[in-house]
Amino acid sequence: MNAALEARDLIKRFGGLVALDGVQFAAAEGEVLGIIGVNGAGKTTLMNCLCGLYQPDEGEIRLAGEDVTGRTPHEIAARGVGRTFQVPRVFRRMSLIDNLLVPVLRRRATDRALIDQAETMLERMRLIDLRHNFAEELSGGQQKLLEMARMLMPDPRVVMLDEPFAGVHPTLCRFMIEQIEAMAAERKTVLLISHDLTSIYRLSHRVLALNQGRVIAEGGVEAIRGNPAVIEAYLGA
Ligand SMILES: Nc1ncnc2c1ncn2[C@@H]1O[C@H](COP(=O)(O)OP(=O)(O)O)[C@@H](O)[C@H]1O
Ligand SMILES: [Mg+2]
């Protein structure tokens, strides 16, 4: 069976810097794949390549077996891929409801059905009482939840979360962890990027460790936890 998402020998250069140096992995439906590595390891660059924001210099990206290398972010999103950003990118001067309607504007559905769906999503994210507020009025952590909610609106098959827990209050972190578990339970493929190992180890079925653009280890949480190359990459930094 085809992997939900697959990267083959991805190379991405910025001038003389090789940010991704032959990255390779496959993620299955319903799998939470953790991607760890110290600052500058290439995690965000990998995500940017996978969602079409950057074009890799070499290599191939496949979604459910289809080669999507070179596709635009819009084309990749239309194939059922959603993502969040390390620093949330919400529409600051739009209401929460309107933020959620943006990715589904072109859907064939009545306005009422879409608004109902947006309200259900805001309810799920515990943001319903703020639905008419501007997004800029939310706390940083709430903006991350809003971005997650917006990402989920078109019901993506693959979701990629870039540092979802960074700078977020522990209570909100726990709530986010539950939401991510729910995504996997819905059989979504989850790519979870974080330099924070505790939450990654708790959530991931499998972990990919990056260092200087290369995959230095891949495996189950227990194997990664004790992997000398991973420990050295973290301690050396
Ligand atoms: N747009 C860019 N232009 C030039 N260099 C970049 C760009 N994006 C990332 N880099 C570099 O690529 C390397 C990997 O960065 P990044 O993927 O952001 O790492 P991580 O997310 O693991 O912290 C770093 O050395 C970073 O400075
Ligand atoms: Mg990053």
- The tens digit of pLDDT for each residue in 190-214 reads 999 987 788 899 999 999 999 999 9
Q: How many domains does the chain have?
A: 1
- The full length of the chain comes to 237
CB 43 near ligand 1, within 6 Å: yes
Boundaries of domain holding 29: 3-91+141-235
Q: Reduce the DSSP state of residue 62 to 3 states and report it.
A: strand
Which CATH number belongs to the domain containing residue 75 in this structure? Answer: 3.40.50.300
pLDDT-derived band at 2, boundaries 50, 70, 90: confident
The ligand that comes nearest to the alpha carbon of residue 161 is: 2
pLDDT (tens digit, 9 = 90+) per residue, 74-108? 999 999 999 999 888 999 999 999 999 998 887 77
Q: Is 205 inside any structural domain?
A: yes
Mean pLDDT, residues 52-56 = 97
Q: What is the per-residue pLDDT for 237?
A: 60
Q: Reduce the DSSP state of residue 142 to 3 states and report it.
A: helix
pLDDT (tens digit, 9 = 90+) per residue, 24-45? 999 999 999 999 999 999 999 9
Q: Is 132 inside any structural domain?
A: no
CB 52 near ligand 1, within 6 Å: no
Q: Is 69 inside any structural domain?
A: yes
Angstrom distance (rounded) from CA 103 to CA 106: 8
CB 41 near ligand 1, within 6 Å: yes
Cα angle 63-48-190, degrees, rounded to a multiple of 5: 50
Q: Is 55 inside any structural domain?
A: yes
Q: Is 100 inside any structural domain?
A: no
List, in sequence order, the alpha helices (H) in 132-190. 140-152, 170-185
- For the entire predicted model, the pTM comes to 0.94
CB 50 near ligand 1, within 6 Å: no
Q: Is 123 inside any structural domain?
A: no
Nearest-atom index, ligand 1, CA of 45: 17
Q: Is 121 inside any structural domain?
A: no
Q: Tell me which residue of 79, 29, 30 sits closest to 50, measured CA to CA.
A: 79
